[in-house]
């Protein structure tokens, strides 16, 4: 998501929309066990949540940790 959109969601309580998604963003990180994707659902419009879940399910890439250079 765009940084400004995140601020609006957090400060103004507006739900995230599909227009807030950043193009070509890797969606593999939310697949990790430590990431609790379901906790974000209340902050999304229904259609944006469905698209976000679809993107996570379809992403087969690996996230590379910038601190340890390990694939996660």
Q: What per-residue confidence (pLDDT) applies to 70?
A: 57
- Residue 72 maps to a domain: no
Q: What per-residue confidence (pLDDT) applies to 46?
A: 94
Q: What per-residue confidence (pLDDT) applies to 68?
A: 62
DSSP summary character for residue 32: S
- Residue 24 belongs to what domain range? 3-58
DSSP summary character for residue 49: H
Count of domains for the chain: 1
Confidence band for 64, pLDDT divided at 50, 70 and 90: low
- Residue 32 maps to a domain: yes
Residues 1-56: tens digit of each pLDDT? 667 777 788 888 888 888 888 777 667 766 666 677 788 888 889 998 898 888 88
Q: For the CA atoms of 16, 20, 26, 32, what is the dihedral angle to 10 degrees? A: -10
Reading the block at residue 7, the tokens are: 């601020």
Q: What per-residue confidence (pLDDT) applies to 4?
A: 78
């Amino acid at each position: 998501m765009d940084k400004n959109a995140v601020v609006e969601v957090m400060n103004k309580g507006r739900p995230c929309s599909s227009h807030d998604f950043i193009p070509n963003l890797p969606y593999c990180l939310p697949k990790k066990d430590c990431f609790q994707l379901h906790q974000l659902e209340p902050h999304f419009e229904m259609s944006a949540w469905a698209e976000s879940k679809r993107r996570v399910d379809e992403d087969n890439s690996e996230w590379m940790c910038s601190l340890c250079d390990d694939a996660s």
